[in-house]
Amino acid sequence: MSNENNTTQATETAQFPSNVLPKNIDKLTAYSSAKSEKLTGTTWLNANESPYTRAYELSRTEFNRYPDPQPESVINAYSAYVGLSAKQVVMTRGADEGIELLVRTFCTPSQDSIALFAPTYGMYKVTADTHNVAINALSQEVLQQSDVSDIVAQIGDSKLVFICNPNNPTGAMVSTQKIAAIATQLQDKAIVVVDEAYIEFCPEQSAVSLINDFNNLVVLRTLSKAFALAGLRTGFTLASEALLAPFRKVLAPYPVASVVADIAAQALSTSNIVSMRRQVGILNALKQRLSQWLQQSAAVNKVLSGEGNFVTLQLHDKSAITRAYERGLVMRPFTLYGQDNWLRISIGSEQELSEVKAWLDSLTNDNQ
C-alpha cells in the first residue's frame, strides 16, 4: 500500500462520528496553557511559577488503600491559615477543579450563563463552553470603572460571576468593598466567585473576610503560585457551609491522592508559611525592579500596573518575542485589546530576571 493511501486511512480513522459528539464539544476551543506549547528554552518565565523549590518527604509507602476524600490534616491546616472553619473549606485538584465543579453544580446546561470580565483567565470560558453554559462576556473596564448598580445590571441573570482578583493577565484588583457591594445586590440571584490564585502577593486585599457575611460568595485558592507547588495541583474552594453542601455532592469520590495530601500538609506548616511569605517579599521586590527596567526600555510601549507574580507589557514590535526565544528566554505572548504584541513575564529568580534585562538591553542597542 502506498504512503498516500496510508495517510488517507489514518485521516479517516481519526474522524469521530458527528452524531455522537455533542455540538458544544465539537466547537470547543481547548484552553492553551503555557506548558501545552511545545517550546524549548533555558529560562522559563511563561507560566507564573515560583522559582523556589523545597524538598518534601512522604510519610507513607503503602498505597493499596483509598485516600481520605478530604484529608483532615490539610483541611484543618488550610482553614487555620485563612481563618475559616474546616466546614468552609473543600480541597480540589487545583483551583481549576473548583471552577469546573461550580459550573457543574449551579448551572443548568443550555439555560444558564456565567459572567466574566475580559481579558481574564481563560478557564472560565472553556469550562462554561464544555458544559454548554452561555457566557456573558463583560470587560475589565466595566468591572474597574463602572458603579456597582451598572455592573449588576450588565450581569443580568447570569448564575455565576467570576472575578479574578488579582486579574490574570492584567494584574488589576477590585476592592473588597466593591466585591461586597456586588454580592449584596446579587443576593439570592447569583454566586460571586473570587479567584484569588495570586492573593498571597497582596494578602491584605483578600475577600476571605467576607465569606461569613455572604452565603453567595466563593473564594478560590491554590498552592500553585506563592506556595511553589504548581506540580502538586492543589486548590481550595472556600465558602459558607450551606453553599458548599451541594458542591460536595458532585465531588469525585477520592479527589485527593494520598501523596498530594501528605505534601500539602507539610507545605501548610507554620515554618513553611513563614518561608512562603519571605519568598513573596523577595518576589515582590524583584517585580518592582523588573517593572522599572520595562518602563525605562525603548522597546516597551506600555507596562500594566497590578498585583501578582507577573508583569504584563506591550512591546513596540512583537518580533522582540522571537528574539527572546532565540536567547532561550521563554515568556508568554498574548493578544490583548485586539493587539498581538503583548507579553506576560513571570517573576523568577534574580538570575532569571537578569536574562530579561539582557534581552531588553539587546533590543535597545539594536535600535540605536
Task: For 293-338, write each residue's pLDDT tens digit.
Answer: 999 999 999 999 999 999 999 999 999 999 999 999 999 999 999 9
C-alpha to C-alpha distance for 179 and 88, rounded to whole angstroms = 19
> Above pLDDT 70, what percent of the chain?
92
Task: Quickly list DSSP for 131-191.
Answer: TT-EEEEEEHHHHHHS-HHHHHHHHTT-SEEEEESS-TTT-----HHHHHHHHHHTTTT-E
Q: Give residue-wise pLDDT tens across range 184-214.
A: 999 999 999 999 999 999 999 999 999 999 9
pLDDT bracket for residue 23 (50, 70, 90): confident
C-alpha to C-alpha distance for 329 and 172, rounded to whole angstroms = 26
Q: Are residues 98 and 169 in the same domain?
A: yes
On whether residue 280 sits in a domain, the answer given is yes
Q: What are φ and ψ of residue 312, in 5° steps? A: -110, 135
Rg (CA), the chain: 22
Q: Nearest to residue 328, comparing CAs of 72, 28, 39, 20?
A: 39
C-alpha to C-alpha distance for 359 and 300, rounded to whole angstroms = 12
Q: Are residues 281 and 171 in the same domain?
A: no
Q: Are residues 111 and 178 in the same domain?
A: yes
CATH number at residue 358: 3.90.1150.10
Q: Are residues 227 and 319 in the same domain?
A: no
Last residue of a domain, one of 268, 288, 318: 268
Mention every residue, 6+ apart, whose C-beta is less than 8 A from residue 167: 117, 119, 120, 121, 140, 173, 306
Count of structural domains, the chain: 2
Which residue bears the cell 454548554? 132
C-alpha to C-alpha distance for 309 and 226, rounded to whole angstroms = 8
Which residue bears the cell 517585580? 287
Q: Are residues 356 and 257 in the same domain?
A: no
pLDDT bracket for residue 61 (50, 70, 90): confident
Q: Give residue-wise pLDDT tens across range 107-162.
A: 999 999 999 999 999 999 999 999 999 999 999 999 999 999 999 999 999 999 99
Q: Are residues 238 and 303 in the same domain?
A: no
On whether residue 134 sits in a domain, the answer given is yes
Task: Quickly list DSSP for 43-109.
Answer: EEESS---S-------S-----SPPPSS-HHHHHHHHHHHT--GGGEEEESHHHHHHHHHHHHH--T
Amino acid residing at 326 = E
On whether residue 56 sits in a domain, the answer given is no
On whether residue 167 sits in a domain, the answer given is yes
Q: Nearest to residue 133, comparing CAs of 116, 147, 121?
A: 116
pLDDT of residue 58: 87
pLDDT of residue 37: 64
Q: Give residue-wise pLDDT tens across range 155-180.
A: 999 999 999 999 999 999 999 999 99
Amino acid residing at 286 = L
Domain span including residue 356? 30-48+273-367
On whether residue 182 sits in a domain, the answer given is yes
Q: Are residues 239 and 285 in the same domain?
A: no
C-alpha to C-alpha distance for 205 and 164, rounded to whole angstroms = 12
pLDDT bracket for residue 281 (50, 70, 90): very high
On whether residue 17 sits in a domain, the answer given is no
Amino acid residing at 75 = I
Which residue bears the cell 458542591? 247
Q: Between 119 and 31, name the one with better pLDDT.
A: 119
Cβ atoms of residues 109 and 132 within 8 Å: yes
